[in-house]
């Protein structure tokens, strides 16, 4: 008689096994439950294994794309990464963190990355454009030589926006050639700068704008960095206009509260150029300088180095648009067919929420402003005026000669006695700055060499 798996069981063990079998026969659902439970455990184990398995980028092809990026720059230390994301957060840091987490790139260095411009600390961007190589949905095993069409590719916009903070959004993407550069293929960059009129003469400011237009040497309207070895300070301003901002209602808030925007279009810009241009434009608007001051500062023979004047605020400045020839932007995953909730609509809802939040804050401050405007102020003749009337009566330069200088973004500075820009101390010329930089660099190199020599002698 052949042995079975029950041969070695005791009588008690056999009885216990029979009881289990009888229970399963009387309630077959338990058997199914045990089977389902086992299958669920197996599924979870497979998921854990897949999660722990390293992602293989080599399974996919790559393609070069351009991304149109919008950001509110108020809480960032500029656009370009400083390689210290925790201490010095930038827009670029957040973008690449999202790109890497989405497994679209491995790192910045291997992505053939380029950006259209690097905005300063606090400056925002609506039309920033970057280009880089990203993972495609197309597998390496796919024999087709063609790139995937937009509606078959990864939903780049939605994927990235889910990973980005609320003050950064990808608006669109476009396929580009492998040699495309977001910096060098840009044909025009447009900035906007917003400001309240206050007591400024808009017509004089518009006249000053005409002197900026065209090709000029802008060394007196930028911050020089001799380490960059800039060879030419000539830039071309295609147009510079001042217009009222649409869709803002400030009637009754106070005198001079209506908003205007400077729209400035050029081929390229120097470091801090727009903010220095706005600073002089405000001086013209306040009547502290004539419009021709712009023409004089652009005359390098007459004014070979920059006089000492401050930059305008970063808060109202926006990189509004970057122009390229031949790019076909995709704004939603399914641009070619109906989508009940397209990417562009989700982006619109996001900014509608942001706008509502900021408008509520604005209206709150506006109520405070309106209330304080009615507070009484005693005049020299003992008469009473409201704060609003007192503000309207004050001139740019007080009777004591103190000048209030507008810097934009609600900021002002006061000078006990206004000194015209052309009479102020001058910075070093470009040549002198570069010469001093070379001397400092040589001195530093000599110190390092001397230190190395001392260390070698101490070891010998």
Query: Largest Cα–Cα distance in the chain?
Result: 128
Could you give the 3-state DSSP secondary structure of residue 61? strand
Residue 283, classified by CB atoms within 10 Å of its CB into exposed (0-12), middle (13-18) or buried (19+), is buried
- How far apart (Å, rounded) are the C-alpha atoms in residues 311 and 190? 19
Q: Active-site positions? A: 120
The partner residues of 194 in beta bridges, in order of sequence, read: 261
- β-strand 60-71 against 317-323: which pairing, if any? unpaired
The CA-CA-CA angle for residues 56, 61, 62, to 5°, reads 105
Residues whose CB is less than 8 angstroms from the CB of residue 94 and which lie 6 or more positions away in sequence, other chains included:
164, 165, 168
- β-strand 124-139 against 317-323: which pairing, if any? parallel
- How far apart (Å, rounded) are the C-alpha atoms in residues 191 and 270? 13
Q: Are 418 and 288 in contact (CB under 8 A)?
A: yes
- How far apart (Å, rounded) are the C-alpha atoms in residues 339 and 346? 11
Residue 253, classified by CB atoms within 10 Å of its CB into exposed (0-12), middle (13-18) or buried (19+), is middle
φ/ψ of 263, rounded to 5, equals -110, 120
Distances from the Cα of 259 to the Cα of 222, 248, 365, angstroms: 26, 7, 16
Residues whose CB is less than 8 angstroms from the CB of residue 327 and which lie 6 or more positions away in sequence, other chains included:
66, 174, 176
The DSSP code sequence of 103-132 is TS-S-SGGGT-EES--PPTT-EEEEEEEEE
């Amino acid at each position: 008689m052949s042995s079975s798996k029950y041969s070695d069981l005791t009588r008690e063990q056999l009885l216990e096994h029979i009881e289990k079998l009888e229970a399963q026969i009387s309630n077959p659902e338990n058997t199914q439950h045990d089977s389902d439970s086992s299958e669920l455990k197996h599924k979870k184990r497979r998921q854990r294994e897949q999660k722990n398995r390293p992602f293989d980028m080599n399974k996919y092809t790559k393609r070069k794309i351009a991304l149109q990026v919008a950001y509110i720059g108020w809480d960032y230390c500029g656009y370009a990464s400083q390689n210290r994301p925790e201490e010095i957060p930038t827009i670029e840091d957040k973008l690449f963190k999202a790109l890497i987490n989405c497994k679209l790139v491995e790192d910045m260095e291997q992505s053939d990355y380029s950006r259209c411009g690097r905005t300063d600390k606090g400056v925002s961007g609506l039309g920033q454009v970057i280009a880089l190589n990203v993972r495609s949905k197309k597998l390496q095993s796919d024999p087709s030589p063609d790139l995937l069409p937009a509606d078959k590719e990864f939903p780049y916009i939605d994927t990235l926006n889910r990973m980005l903070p609320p003050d950064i959004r990808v608006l669109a993407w476009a396929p580009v050639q492998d040699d495309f550069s977001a910096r060098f293929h840009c044909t025009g960059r447009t900035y906007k700068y917003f400001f309240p009129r206050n007591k400024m003469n808009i017509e004089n400011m518009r006249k000053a704008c005409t002197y900026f237009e065209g090709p000029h040497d802008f060394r007196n309207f930028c911050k020089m960095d001799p380490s960059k070895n800039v060879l030419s300070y000539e830039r071309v301003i295609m147009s510079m206009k001042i217009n009222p901002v649409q869709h803002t209602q400030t009637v009754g808030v106070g005198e001079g509260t209506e908003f205007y925007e400077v729209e400035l279009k050029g081929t390229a810009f120097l470091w801090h150029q727009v903010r220095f241009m706005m600073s002089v434009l405000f001086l013209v608007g306040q009547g502290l300088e004539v419009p021709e001051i712009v023409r004089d500062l652009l005359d390098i023979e007459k004014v070979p180095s920059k006089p000492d004047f401050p930059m305008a605020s970063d808060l109202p400045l926006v990189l509004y648009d970057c122009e390229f020839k031949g790019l076909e932007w995709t704004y939603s995953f399914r641009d070619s067919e109906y989508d009940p909730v397209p990417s562009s609509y989700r982006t619109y809802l996001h900014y509608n929420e942001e706008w509502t939040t900021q408008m509520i804050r604005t209206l709150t401050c506006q109520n405070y402003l309106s209330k304080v405007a009615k507070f009484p102020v005693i005049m020299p003749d003992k008469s009473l005026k409201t704060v609003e009337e007192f503000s309207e009566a004050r001139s740019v330069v007080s009777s004591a000669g103190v000048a209030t200088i507008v810097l934009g973004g609600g900021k002002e500075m006061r000078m006990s006695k206004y000194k015209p820009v052309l009479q102020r101390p001058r910075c070093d010329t470009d040549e002198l700055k570069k010469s001093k930089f070379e001397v400092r660099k040589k001195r530093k190199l000599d110190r390092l060499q001397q230190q190395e020599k001392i260390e070698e002698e101490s070891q010998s």
